[in-house]
Amino acid sequence: MTRHVLTGARIFDGQMIHSDRALVIEGTVIAGLIPADQAPKAAQHLTGLLAPAFLDLQVNGGGGHLVGATTTAADLATVCAAHRGLGTAGVLPTLITDTAEATARVIAAGVAAIGTPGFLGLHLEGPHLDPRRKGAHDPALIRPMEAEDLARLCDAATRLPALLVTLAPESATPDQIATLTRAGAVVSLGHSDCSFDTAQAAFAAGARCATHLFNAMSQIGNREPGLAGAVLTADAAAGLIADGIHVHPATMRLALTARVDGVFLVTDCMSFAGTDLTEMTLHGRRVLRRDGRLSLEDGTLAGADLTLPQAIGNLVTKVGISPERALAMASRIPARVIGVEDRFGHIAPGRAAELVLLDTDFGLSGYWSGAGWHIAPT
């Protein structure tokens, strides 16, 4: 079994940053951390920060492919590979609001993709949303959840490694939310104009997450806290798009002060991820990539042009969050949300060697997977 020792870089182990440790890898598994002064002369010397590779629970596409009605298992592999090249060890490819037939086809593709490197399951964002908070979703395809939809989702939850379902409480009953939760799905509230009380009832029924905090949801008011207020006062996780466009840095700072744990980073990226593409089509509408922003022709935001290293850098430099907390929001916390914390999110003995090396500006310098570098350190 090949033994590798990586030294010189600071190491974030999932909880704290060590500046005086070397990392030992045996084969494809982490053996542990040792004092840096005990590293052998043959150890590989690095500069920067080593951390657990990232997880992204909301990726609409990547590598030129947008998850949709024609998606196959091979397409999902393309999406996963594109994000692994960006330092993300695992993703939930995300289907936004579509027909029942398209949903069934993507679920079948997901089941066929089990075992694909980087594939953690699926995120179905809609179609059971509130058209008043549609965002870039096609309002003609938004509809309430029916018995057939519920049965399809429950079956998918039993067959996929993980299933995240974004819905609006206006389009699904508490009983449907409870049934989905019992089946093993992670129910996330989003694209909703619901009241604070309605959101609380959905959380009580089993929902335990919220999708892209502050975006496409009822906001905090002085007498009606809305879904955003319910998220910040509940024991629920929440995804956050930290590009500085979807949520102002001051608003992010307020939210992260209110919630000391549970908020995690997502990119909400589109097929542009990992490519130089400047335009794509979403349900017959053009999505434009301009100056770090993705939007429909009418200016509506349509996902984000963002990577997780960029999001981490934004949190540290623009919001004032500690590097430890920002790194956990891209690794340990999302791993906990979908129940894979035993595999991801920590650098510890027995864990798979899935690592990123970041530079002093939190840019990606290298990505270690398995037994070696897939992107060599610069």
DSSP state of 266: -
Beta bridge partner(s), residue 34: 22
DSSP state of 170: G
DSSP-assigned letters across all residues of 14-58: SS-EESSEEEEEETTEEEEEEEGGGS-TTSEE--SEEEEPEEEEE
Q: Among this protein's residues, is 261 annotated catalytic?
A: no
Helix (H) or strand (E) holding 368: strand 364-369
- Considering only CA atoms, which of 351, 329, 198, 212 is closest in space to residue 269? 212
C-alpha–C-alpha distance, residues 331 and 311, integer Å: 12
Tokens of 279: 């335009």
Residues near 339 by beta carbon (within 8 Å), at least 6 away in sequence: 162
Q: Are 58 and 267 in contact (CB under 8 A)?
A: yes
Q: What is the crossing angle of helices 147-159 and 100-112, to 10°?
A: 10
Tokens of 215: 């975006």
For tokens 């919001």, what's the residue?
319
268, 276, 291, 305: the active-site residue: 268
Residues designated as active site: 268
